[in-house]
Amino acid sequence: MRHPPPPGLFQTAFPACRGWHRFAPGARHRHNIRRSVIFPFGSPLKSCVLSAAVSWKIHDGWHVLCIGSVVPVRTVITIFNNAPIAFCAFACHILRKEGVVAASRVAIVSVRDRTAAAFADAIGEGFALLASQGEAHKGAANVLLKVDVRDDGNDRPVVATTPALVEALARRFREAGSTVAIGDTPGGSGYRLWHQIRRLLLGKLRGRIRGKNYDDLMVLYGAVQSLKLFTELDSLDVPDTAKPLVLLDDLGVESQIDFFKGSGIADAADACGATLRRFDLEPFDTVTSPAGTFLASVLLCRAIAEADHILSVARAGISAEGRISGALANMFGVVPTSMRAPYERTARLASASDEMVVDIFAAVSPPPFAVIDAAGIAGREGATDTRNLVIMSPDCVAADTVLAALCHAGPANRPLLDAAEKAGCGCAALDRIEILGEPVGQHGGPR
């Protein structure tokens, strides 16, 4: 067993011990521990808490958290279920309160206009304010920008992250030598397309099922209705029929999921050489959620597994009930469209909607960097408020907490933010967040 560092050393992760959780053996995982930070012992409480240094080891495929004193390590806490997550969140709270661990940092920067050049200046200022914490993308081979495109699949306009902001971010990373992908799922238009595909499949089968009995037909009907991913269409196995029954390319799916084009994101990608990824048209991976309060495992798009650095490039929104949508809610779009309704409906039945969002967010690794487009606080019908701000932070929970304060969003947002903090995803207490740049009070409240 490894001995702890000498007194005065504390190895920590930013922002909130996100890496300290259990993963199944063999599961894909990455640590959120970037560096070791040296802190002197100051107060008796610090000496008491930090005479035990926190270090890492891997034992039989499990992450193990070792708590040691100035003598060789005596206590080993195996990361298991929610207890260690709560422990890490509590420990992080104590250490921050004592000033040992730096508070989560959020940059609020103003944008002079809605052009890509103006957004480039704003995000450059934001990264400079956050210093090294904001530059984790440097050296990343593959960067994923998870944008926020809200397409209801009807005649209402597509609401999306401002394309100029997406272009500015993508260009910055491209100039740093990274490969940049921009991705999302289609939302409402995806539901409509699924209904169309199922009708088409059943229509193709109509002439081939004559003479079959109820049991045979129910197996066939169930196979069609149980399809969850577009990639499963090519392998749909129907007895006594030529295989495959239908090819994805034959359906013109990509041309029908045109939300990137309708939102202007496609033009932004073309302008800076980024790749568009429609998550629904790609494979998905089953990933264990380290939070696991409601969803023990989550279907995540393949783009997550391939990314070295992920940004949640969210469009700030606020509902009639005062609930904000920001960096956390944006990551709901990494699950397939076909699973959104089952996740949402079952979570509502269990009164666990907030926990469901947190479970999905916690499964995303590496933890996303938040870039929230608050230039227009958007409802379902489009922009309803203009603030010309961008919120940036390596802590998505802290970024959403600041967004809620800017909007005076009220207590409706506390369950989600508190659930995220409890799961160790970040900081949800405004008094423990270091706000850089524009002061919240200057912009707070609805207009």
Task: List the domain boundaries for the chain.
Answer: 9-97, 104-186+257-443, 190-253
pLDDT-wise least confident of 111-120, 217-226, 247-256, 322-331: 247-256
The answer on pLDDT for 354 being more than 70 is yes
Mean pLDDT (whole number) for 287-316:
94
pLDDT tier for residue 90 given thresholds of 50, 70 and 90: low
Percentage of the chain beyond pLDDT 70 is 62
Backbone angles phi, psi at 298, to 5 degrees: -135, 140
Return d(Cα 270, Cα 300) in angstroms, integer: 26
Confidence of residue 11 (pLDDT cuts 50, 70, 90): very low
Which one is predicted more confidently, 411 or 65? 411
Quick: pLDDT tens for 247-278: 667 666 666 667 788 788 999 999 999 999 98
H or E element: which one contains 278?
strand 275-278
Rg for the chain, CA atoms, rounded: 23
- Return mean pLDDT, the chain: 72
More confident residue, 245 or 417: 417
Collapsing DSSP to helix, strand or coil, 132 comes out as helix
Specify the pLDDT at position 238.
Answer: 64
The pairing of beta strand 159-160 with beta strand 142-147: unpaired
CATH superfamily of 104-186+257-443: LarA, N-terminal domain (3.40.50.11440)
> 110 in helix, strand or coil?
strand
Give the pLDDT mean for 177-193.
Answer: 82
Q: Locate tokens 């059943």: which residue?
A: 202
pLDDT at residue 305, rounded to an integer: 93
Reference 129, options 393, 315, 428; nearest CA is 393
What local confidence, expressed as pLDDT, does residue 376 receive? 62
**Are the C-beta atoms of 324 and 317 separated by less than 8 Å?**
yes
Instruction: Report CA-CA distances (Å) from 223 to 42, 226, 233, 239, 272.
Output: 64, 5, 10, 11, 42
Q: What pTM value is reported for the model?
A: 0.72
Nearest to 259 by CA among 333, 318, 369, 335: 333
pLDDT tens per residue across span 29-67: 333 332 222 233 333 333 333 333 333 332 333 333 333
* DSSP one-letter string for 368-430: PEEEEEEEEEEETTEEEEE--EEEEES-HHHHHHHHHHHHT--GGGHHHHHHHHHTTS----G
Is omega for the bond preceding 446 within 30 degrees of 0, making it cis? Answer: no
pLDDT at 217: 76
In this prediction, residue 443 carries a pLDDT of: 56
Q: Which of 93-107, 122-136, 299-313 is modeled with the greatest confidence?
A: 299-313
Region of poorest pLDDT, from 4-8, 112-116, 244-248 = 4-8
Which residue intervals of 98-150 are DSSP H helices?
116-130
Report in angstroms the alpha-carbon separations of 99 from 6, 36, 104, 432, 434.
Answer: 20, 16, 12, 10, 12
